[in-house]
Structure 1
Amino acid sequence: MTAVGLCRGLDTLFAVPPGHRLDDVDRASARQVLGCDDHTLSTLLDRGLQASGEVGEERFDSRDLFNLALYSGTGTTVPEQAFAYSLRWMRSSTEELLAPRASRFALRVACAADRCGPEPTSSLALPRPERLGGAVHDLTVEPADANGPAHDGGDTLARTASELAVTATVHTRGERAELRSPELRAIAAEFAAMDLRWVKLPAALQDDVDLVTSHGVASCDSASRYLAQLCVRAGIPAVTRIGWVVGMLDLVHAWVEVEDTDGATKVIDPVFALFSATVRGTNPLLRDPTVALRTNRLIPTGLPTGRAVAEHRCGGEPAAARVTTKILPAPTRPQERP
């Protein structure tokens, strides 16, 4: 069953293009990700799975392996099981998805080098749940001094330091809203009918909206950009937004905020519908193109797609950063509720 599913998945795999490949997984690790034996892995190679290196010592791109396993339909691979676990909240009732929620939020960025270069600058996006009816309490910044670059319009924080950390208690709430605009409903239905697949992509391709139409695959960023473009072309005010999702494997997420004909700004999350297709028994509202369902798990920033939630510079150049994000349930005190 595993071999059949993997071979079927390979037929529809969008392989990471040359120039973007990172063959970072050896043969033994590939078998673990795919949940297959060595004979099946050889069969996949014979059928076109891309790899580098000599026969028997091949190396694979981890994103190819993840995407292949995720859509194999076996239910036994590591990516399938990880997705099913991290997205189990999508089975929640509508009431549970809308209820007020409190989370303890911690975001840290540090230089990834063994020794940070001169004139380091670290910056972080701030959680802005008030944009969606929430609130922030007990916000702390480390280091606390205000030397160095200041806020960027309140949406990011920067310090002249090799490390920077932000912690806070974040309160969020969901909202269910009908899409009133006939044009907006048509766009949402058209997008849903495209039958796209969410896939892991190299950073350089995550904003590439051409992949949506040419290959039927999308990241959170590219799907949001594509949907926002459709809205703007139809005369509907729309912007992309990035932030975090409580409980997701990849916490950083993207969605679209549109202005409907009733004057309300509504969240359309094009990728949640794609995610929910990989999990059985999900709340049907997540796939309903007539409804703007904003779950209580969204923690927005004030930034659009294309921006980063964490950055580091040293030696006058952008530098590799080590980013740590933790979002855990927090008790709610009455005075803290939004």
Structure 2
Amino acid sequence: MNAGPWLRSLGLLYAVPEPYRDPRLDTAEALAVLRCGPDVLAELVAAGLPRAEGPDGPLFDRHDLINLALNAGTGASAPERALRFALRWMRDGPAAWTAPLAWDFAVEMRAADAAADSRWSHTRFLPELTGGMVETWESSAAVRITPGRFEFAGPGPIRFAGRMRTAGTLQELRSPALRRIVSDFLGAGYRWAKLPKPCQYDTEPILAAGFAPCVTASVHLEKEFRAAGYEAESRGGWILGMLDLSHSWVEVVDDDGLVKQIDPVFERLSRYAGDPHPELGRACLGSRLNRLLPAAIPAGEPEALHVRAGAAAPAAVSTVIRRSDAR
């Protein structure tokens, strides 16, 4: 395989900064992600691909490999194929982005130090913000539902599942001031990158390097909207149908009194869909889309927590949300 696209991509890579790096993928696992062949990977290592030295050879950070693959644009890597498949609905027209959709969801929370006195918390799904609702619910333990969380007790793992519906509404951003802020942000030419959530809160160096992952973009635009005198808050949630579901955007009260969803990163992600509908980019800047599920958390906050002896830490969580009306 030609190493040229890979070496160019390496030159553009925004490497995961310390102390957020987690190099744990070995050479075989890296090749499964990149699908570039061992000779190309050896060239990338020689050219400075970030890595740590493990007992059996180099170890790589998964985020670095995903960003490297997407920027190389070979069309053969695992991240490119996964995104192209998951975002294929972006090729459809506006009616497909707002129609009611039914989804089955299944969530499992676990922790290595779980015990009988463990407590668990998971952010609530809020499909009602887009015109949907949670229709059915079942869990492996008794649940207490608060305005923002599902709460459980017991040794775990904790599992809950059910069915919900999402919908959407096409809207446009009316405020000239808000439109100017969004236009300036898009005009800066930021590129999307997959980075660990905690490091994305350090927005200035990431933006200065020309990148805007979803948490960084959401936190930055929330500040910009508020500085302009508008009520705004970042929102965590999920892109439904993707293998890695978590996502973030901004919600702002427009001059017409309506809450508009601003998601410039989603517009950037659409470029990996292959041939997105030409109206999708505009729809991401004001509309509620049925493929975005809001949660009761700000951008980047962990969706699941494990609490033991009064100390809370993010829980390991597996989230699967699949169409139940497309079989």
TM over 0.5: yes
Q: What residue number does 1:22 align with? A: 22
Secondary structure of the corresponding residue to residue 267 of structure 2: helix
Question: Is residue 286–residue 293 contact of structure 1 (8 Å, CA) maintained in 2?
Answer: no
Question: Is residue 185–residue 289 contact of structure 1 (8 Å, CA) maintained in 2?
Answer: no
Kindly report which structure 2 residues correspond to 1:213-228, keeping only aligned pairs within 5 A, or say none: 213-228=207-222
CA RMSD across the alignment: 2.3
**Alpha-carbon displacement from aligned partner over 1:188-226 (angstroms, at most 9, x marks no partner):** 111211222222212420322224421122322111111
Secondary structure of the corresponding residue to residue 266 of structure 2: helix
Unaligned runs of 5+ in 2: none
Q: Does 2:157 correspond to 1:159?
A: no
Q: Does 2:138 correspond to 1:140?
A: yes
Question: Is residue 119–residue 316 contact of structure 1 (8 Å, CA) maintained in 2?
Answer: no
Q: Does 2:204 correspond to 1:210?
A: yes
Q: What residue number does 1:336 align with? A: none
Change in 2 beyond 3 A, CA 1:18/1:155: closer
Q: Shift of residue 77 of structure 1?
A: 1.2
Choose 63-72 or 49-58, whichever is displaced more.
49-58
Identity score, percent? 36
Q: What residue number does 2:275 align with? A: 281
Distance 1:196 1:233 in 2: 21
Q: What residue number does 1:335 align with? A: none
AA of the residue aligned to 2:246: V
Q: What residue number does 1:309 align with? A: 303
What TM-score results when the alignment is normalised by the length of structure 2? 0.91
Change in 2 beyond 3 A, CA 1:159/1:290: closer
Q: What residue number does 2:71 align with? A: 71
Q: Shift of residue 238 of structure 1?
A: 0.9
Could you tell me which of 174, 179, 192 is aligned with 2:173? 179
Could you tell me which of 224, 229, 241 is aligned with 1:247? 241
Would you say how many aligned residue pairs link Structure 1 and Structure 2?
Answer: 325
Question: Is residue 198–residue 219 contact of structure 1 (8 Å, CA) maintained in 2?
Answer: yes
Kindly report which structure 2 residues correspond to 1:47-126, keeping only aligned pairs within 5 A, or say none: 47-53=47-53, 57-111=57-111, 113=112, 116-117=114-115, 119-126=117-124
**Alpha-carbon displacement from aligned partner over 1:233-261 (angstroms, at most 9, x marks no partner):** 11121111111221112112111111111
Distance 1:224 1:285 in 2: 22
Question: Is residue 27–residue 59 contact of structure 2 (8 Å, CA) maintained in 1?
Answer: yes
Question: Is residue 2–residue 35 contact of structure 1 (8 Å, CA) maintained in 2?
Answer: no
What TM-score results when the alignment is normalised by the length of structure 1? 0.88
Distance 2:216 2:96 in 1: 29
Question: Is residue 124–residue 156 contact of structure 1 (8 Å, CA) maintained in 2?
Answer: yes
Change in 2 beyond 3 A, CA 1:37/1:169: closer
Change in 2 beyond 3 A, CA 1:137/1:242: same
Distance 1:67 1:251 in 2: 17
Distance 1:57 1:139 in 2: 46
Q: Shift of residue 322 of structure 1?
A: 2.8
